[in-house]
Amino acid sequence: MMSTTQLLGGLASLVLVSACGSLGSQSAFPAMNDFGRTKDGTAVQLYTLTNAGGLSATLTNFGATLVSLHAPDRDGAMADVVLGFDDVSGYEGEGNQYFGCIAGRVANRIAKGAFTLDGADHQLAVNNEPNHLHGGDSGFGQKVWDATMILRDGAQGVTFVYVSPAGEENYPGTLTTSVTYLLTDKNELRLEYAATTDAPTLVNLTHHSYFNLAGHGAPTILDHVLEINASHYTPCDDTLIPTGELAPVAGTALDFRTMQGIGKRIATLDATPALGYDHNFALDGRGMRQACFLYHASSGRTLTIRTDEPGLQFYTGNFLFGQPGKGGATYAHRSGLCLEAQHFPDSIHHADFPSVVLEPGQTYAQKTVHVFGTW
């Protein structure tokens, strides 16, 4: 088990070892630029990672957010495949629907924002009526994280750390969280998470990028093809809270066990509470394994996600409304999709679901890898 002090000490050691790694010079570290100031005047930075394959990723310490990811198509033409904004003001604006951020303390929904832990009742913000969503009114995606540029095994990266004090958003316990992004020469964007607490609390972190493999600003993701390694999903009530059942995907519009066009069956879900795809899939297998494969035929771009998490939330941007984004682009309804590796929604109320409770002396840890390619 790892204490908060050990976690922070380990991060410091990682940075020291990375700085002495095989690349060996400050010029090989990620580039850093200003990204504007928050409404309260805090300066925010932008970090650019590159690899030998020509990929580049930009990150900001506001929300530990992925701002852009440039990847080649089958002919080598580059496009930015994630939705986002040109500066921090966009991420503080009404058009930001968790674009690219780390969602927490608890990603996804908690029924009525209420839970009981060790005999104590806790009432969180109800920011997605009638439930709590993605950490509350000012969750991790709205925080300025500490950032350290790193090199590890020839890969550029950034480690973000945020200390959430006890009582923030009414969660118990002081939670110290780190998220490391690494861009490898295998065209992987690796995310490594760790968290410790000084009192029992809840933790369920996820990465919330909206992807469009045709390039951000393209009008739809319904022309993408998707495969999800899940034979079951968690059915929900009318407020998108799981009933507790694990139901088979066979015979439903949620059966992505073989590659399916996203637009092929989505209309059958339009009149449901999800308003399209907004479902948690119970991934098959355990440990690090492939969760999903996404393909865009016109460009040939692919995205493979591997994770050690038990669930994957697939969301088709049903609430995008044409808000302005980077470079003058607009983000139309269903022009971006999310593939969020995480624990199941509302796990605290379902004893059979994987637990999201973190105790002192334990370390929350997960890894999720996004692999970009062409086909």
**Phi and psi at residue 267, to the nearest 5°:** -60, -25
Out of 208, 296, 343, 370, pick the active-site residue: 208
In 3D space, the residue among 111, 162, 163, 103 whose CA is nearest the CA of residue 134 turns out to be 103
Residue 350: active-site member: no
Are 366 and 205 a contacting pair, CB within 8 Å? Answer: yes
Long-range contacts of 64-68, Cβ-Cβ distance < 8 Å, separation of 24 or more: 64/101, 64/102, 64/140, 64/145, 64/160, 64/162, 64/179, 65/91, 65/99, 65/100, 65/101, 65/102, 65/141, 66/100, 66/181, 66/189, 66/207, 66/209, 67/35, 67/100, 67/326, 68/216, 68/326
**Phi and psi at residue 356, to the nearest 5°:** -110, 10
Cα 95 to Cα 98, 134, 323, distances in angstroms: 9, 16, 6
Residue 129: active-site member: no
Give the separation between CA 294 and CA 279, rounded to whole angstroms: 16
In 3D space, the residue among 58, 56, 110, 108 whose CA is nearest the CA of residue 84 turns out to be 58
Q: Is the link from the previous residue into 105 a cis peptide, with omega within 30 of 0?
A: yes
What are the DSSP calls for 61-117, one per residue? TBTTEEEEEEEE-TTS-EEE-B---SSHHHHTSTT-SSTTPEE-SB-SEEGGGEEEE
Out of 340, 343, 350, 370, pick the active-site residue: 340
**Residues identified as active-site:** 208, 340
